[in-house]
Amino acid sequence: MSASMNLLPGMPSRPALSEAALPAAVREIAVLVGLPKTLQLVERLGGTTFPVPKRATKVGELRYFMLADVVGVEAADLLCRHYGGTNLYVPRCAEALRKARDAEIVATFDRETKKRSANAVVAELALKYRLSDRRVWMVLKG
């Protein structure tokens, strides 16, 4: 599944991401709220533990609105019903995101080098993904 919103700083779009490559906790959240909303949660809160509110106190309401700001009201309601009162660790998913980015780099390189030089394409990919050209070449060789 893929969507067209920015997930990592400097990345113009979200590369195709295999749901199977994601940690089990993230897949569980995706079943509840869908992959696009889950990836928004990972983008904004990845690597942190978020106390999911039951919405019984003023602090709980503030946390709810913070969550709703990240994933929307409908998804926040679902998360609060399912995880309310618990501390939810949101994994960074760094490895899965890196693999998806690398796959996108290879696919773009293969497609674009039919029209332009490899050096020009690598330079463009390095800027697009905020990598060094050396790193892009390493991705392409891997």
- Tokens representing 72? 């929307």
**Token representation of residue 78:** 């679902």
| pLDDT at residue number 15 | 56
> Token pair of 94, please?
């760094």
Measured distance between the N- and C-terminal CA atoms of the chain, rounded to whole angstroms: 23
Between 11 and 130, the higher pLDDT residue: 130
Assigned token pair, 118: 């490899």
Any idea which residue has 């390493």 for tokens?
Answer: 138
- In this structure, of 15-19, 44-48, 111-115, 135-139, the range with the lowest mean pLDDT score is 15-19
Contact predicate 62/78, CB 8 Å: no
Q: Could you tell me if 63 and 53 are in contact, meaning their C-beta atoms sit under 8 angstroms apart? A: yes
